[in-house]
Amino acid sequence: MSFTLHGIPVSRGIAIGRAYLIAPASLDVDHYLVAPDEIEAEVARFCAAQDVVHNELETLRVELPADAPGEMGAFLNVHMLILRDAMLAEAAVVLIRTRRYNAEWALTEQLEQLSKHFDEVDDEYLRERKADLEQVVERVLKALAGSPSAASLVANGVAAAEGGARHEMIVVAHDIAPADMMQFKTQTFRGFVTDLGGRTSHTAIVARSLGIPAAVGVQQASALIRQDDLIIVDGDTGIVIVDPAPIILEEYSYRQSEKALEQRKLQRLKFSPTQTVDGTKIDLLANIELPDDAAAALGAGAVGIGLFRTEFLFMGKHESPEEEEQFAAYRKVVTTMQGLPVTIRTIDVGADKPLDHRSAEGFEAATNPALGLRAIRWSLSEPQMFLTQLRAILRASAFGPVKILIPMLAHAQEIDQTLDLIHEAKLQCDDAGLAYDPNVKVGAMIEIPAAALAVQMFLKRLDFLSIGTNDLIQYTLAIDRADNAVAHLYDPLHPAVLGLISHTLKEAQRAGVPVSVCGEMAGDPALTRLLLGMGLTEFSMHPSQLLSVKQEVLRAHRPNLEKPVQDVLAAYEPAELQASLARLAAI
């Protein structure tokens, strides 16, 4: 039966495909489709891991000290029974064979199914057996980690298996952490739907960076949509249509091909210079999360990297990456960009971007993580970690133009401490004979309202500014950017937000300090005129948005935008604001 769900659109376009439900537990493991000719090898890998665990448990049982409590033996017996239970093992093998899931994915998927049954039973003793089940699965996962699979990724999977009649895959999940989202960069999912999330949650940002349609905050999607359901994701409106009628399917297929045509037309703009009709040169730069993204930035015609979110290098690891590993990552971006500027932001973790190794230390238990020890606050509290990152960035500056960008600054002493540490990192490089650019520029994200209001403090001390509208909106309006329950109140056009952006731009320009916008507002073509009219000349966004924004820039006449934009900034009543925005759009 066909039905429609509504969520928050986060990445434009239309995706049509089969639902791939991903259970929360399975997100902690790799998940990919095994190539058809590797299925039996994957089953064998699973069985071998089972044998390893069986032997482990057997050894434990044999070596139980004579005075061990009686329950210990019984407990090991239960684990051995669970290990071989058809509901777990055989079902997982069926998932490998029929769905082509890798062994880890199949096992955690089955764990999720069985867990639901356990939660439903009344008998407390039986309910407690769920913990045993989880422990057994953990053991098997560990054993699997010791025997990595040679199976190939989705990229060469579905198409080959299903020939011409293939269906694209659309991920449906309750929620996906930003670090897990990174896995999808290498795979060919065609869309995303999640129950939770907001427009600028980091999960949404990564989905947008993949350039594929996505809707978040689609409540109950993962409960209502079933595996393999045919679904349409309209990334422009946030609508998800499940099991569409043929006529609806036809309509969306048509719209999909229209959009593909539009995209192809946009490609023609790639090599034209970016300037407004009146000849103002505009710089369009790229936001990236991983070193490999730099190639797409260059390919889209970005004139540099305006924001490299380095925290993604730190996520999902037990330890912070070593200096050499970081240096290699930063240098790769710098060399890929072939002499174009690369703005490397120091680690910005916390709130909706947790780090694995920190959660182990109880960090994530902060009362209010968005207001807690995140971003530069954490870096300053971990000077050795921070110095390691700064040295790695400085060393990359020997290979091309690099700027250092600091997230979440609000206080003068934070800026001063940061500058002192950068100085110290330079001295350490000198001592070690490591080359770097001594004039490397240092800038601040303006993403806390206090920073925007006290921007003079920043202009005096730093070389450039970059406005992070995602957090600026979150903190100005007190709206959690990742919480779909308040997503309707997350408003980039709130007069207070526009006032802070405009104030920052004006003051920076007056002081002759370069300023850009790197939040998601910069990549929204519907807001390009507004930002141009406020005087912005440097926009940083995901490469997938670059040509749409460029098209708006090429059509804009800056002097004509000034008056309507002044009207927008002076409008405090919603009706007045809407009328001013309509006039701006009609120019």
Instruction: Decide if 423 is catalytic.
Output: no
Among 234, 352, 447, 552, binds Mg ion (CB under 5 A): 447
The answer to whether the beta carbons of residues 251 and 234 sit under 8 Å apart is no
Measured from the Cβ of residue 438, the count of other Cβ atoms closer than 10 Å reads 10
Binding mask 197-226 for ligand PEP (x = CB under 6 A): --------x---------------------
Judged by CB under 6 A, how many residues of this single chain contact ligand PEP?
11
Strand 402-406 and strand 441-446: pairing?
parallel
Q: How far is the CB of 390 from Mg ion (least distance, A)?
A: 19
Q: How far is the CB of 463 from ligand PEP (least distance, A)?
A: 18
| Contact status: 476 vs ligand PEP (CB under 6 A) | no
Q: How far is the CB of 127 from ligand PEP (least distance, A)?
A: 40
| In the complex, residue closest to Mg ion by CB | 471
The answer to whether the beta carbons of residues 185 and 288 sit under 8 Å apart is no
List, in order, residues 6 or more apart from 345 with CB less than 8 Å away. 307, 308, 309, 310, 405, 406, 407, 445
Sequence-separated contacts (24+) of 368-374 with Cβ below 8 Å: 370/474, 370/480, 374/348, 374/349, 374/350, 374/408
| 137 or 472: CB nearest ligand PEP | 472
Question: How far, in Å, CA of 461 to CA of 446, rounded?
Answer: 13
The answer to whether the beta carbons of residues 196 and 214 sit under 8 Å apart is no
Structure tokens at 500: 């802070």
Q: Which of 520, 562, 573 is nearest to 545 (CA)?
A: 520
Query: Which among 366-374, 462-470, 523-531, 561-569 is the span making contact with ligand PEP, rule CB under 6 A?
Result: 462-470
| 395 or 542: CB nearest Mg ion | 542
Query: Which among 109-117, 175-183, 185-193, 466-474 is the span making contact with ligand PEP, rule CB under 6 A?
Result: 466-474
Question: How far, in Å, CA of 435 to CA of 449, rounded?
Answer: 37
| 38 or 447: CB nearest Mg ion | 447
What type of residue sits at position 248? I
Measured from the Cβ of residue 518, the count of other Cβ atoms closer than 10 Å reads 28
Interface with Mg ion in residues 467-526 (CB under 5 A)? 468, 471
244 to each of 66, 172, 579, how far by Cα in Å?
A: 64, 17, 37
| Contact status: 447 vs ligand PEP (CB under 6 A) | yes
The answer to whether the beta carbons of residues 166 and 159 sit under 8 Å apart is yes
Q: How far is the CB of 408 from ligand PEP (least distance, A)?
A: 8
| Contact status: 309 vs ligand PEP (CB under 6 A) | yes
Q: How far is the CB of 218 from Mg ion (least distance, A)?
A: 24
CB-side neighbour CA atoms (13 Å) of 104: 20
| 447 or 483: CB nearest ligand PEP | 447
Q: Which of 480, 345, 356 is nearest to 406 (CA)?
A: 345
The answer to whether the beta carbons of residues 412 and 450 sit under 8 Å apart is no
The catalytically annotated residue of 31, 79, 429, 518 is 518
The answer to whether the beta carbons of residues 19 and 227 sit under 8 Å apart is yes
| Segments of 113-265 assigned E as strands | 168-173, 191-194, 214-216, 230-234, 239-242
| Contact status: 471 vs ligand PEP (CB under 6 A) | yes
Query: Which among 180-188, 355-363, 460-468, 472-480 is the span making contact with Mg ion, rule CB under 5 A?
Result: 460-468
Query: Which among 42-50, 240-248, 434-442, 462-470 is the span making contact with Mg ion, rule CB under 5 A?
Result: 462-470
What type of residue sits at position 136? V
Provide the H-helix boundaries in 267-308.
293-299
Instruction: Decide if 494 is catalytic.
Output: no
User: In the 8-state DSSP scheme, what is residue 281?
Assistant: B
Choose among ligand PEP, Mg ion, none what residue 519 binds, the Cβ cut-off being 5 to 8 Å by kind. ligand PEP
| 350 or 564: CB nearest ligand PEP | 350
| Contact status: 524 vs ligand PEP (CB under 6 A) | no
The catalytically annotated residue of 79, 202, 429, 542 is 202
Q: How far is the CB of 454 from ligand PEP (least distance, A)?
A: 18
Query: Which among 46-54, 385-393, 445-453, 529-537 is the span making contact with Mg ion, rule CB under 5 A?
Result: 445-453
| Contact status: 348 vs ligand PEP (CB under 6 A) | yes
| Contact status: 543 vs ligand PEP (CB under 6 A) | no
Choose among ligand PEP, Mg ion, none what residue 469 binds, the Cβ cut-off being 5 to 8 Å by kind. ligand PEP
What type of residue sits at position 229? D
| Contact status: 234 vs Mg ion (CB under 5 A) | no
Q: Can you give the binding site for ligand PEP, defined by CB under 6 A?
A: 205, 307, 309, 348, 447, 468-471, 518-519
The set of catalytic residues is: 202, 518
Q: Can you give the binding site for Mg ion, defined by CB under 5 A?
A: 447, 468, 471
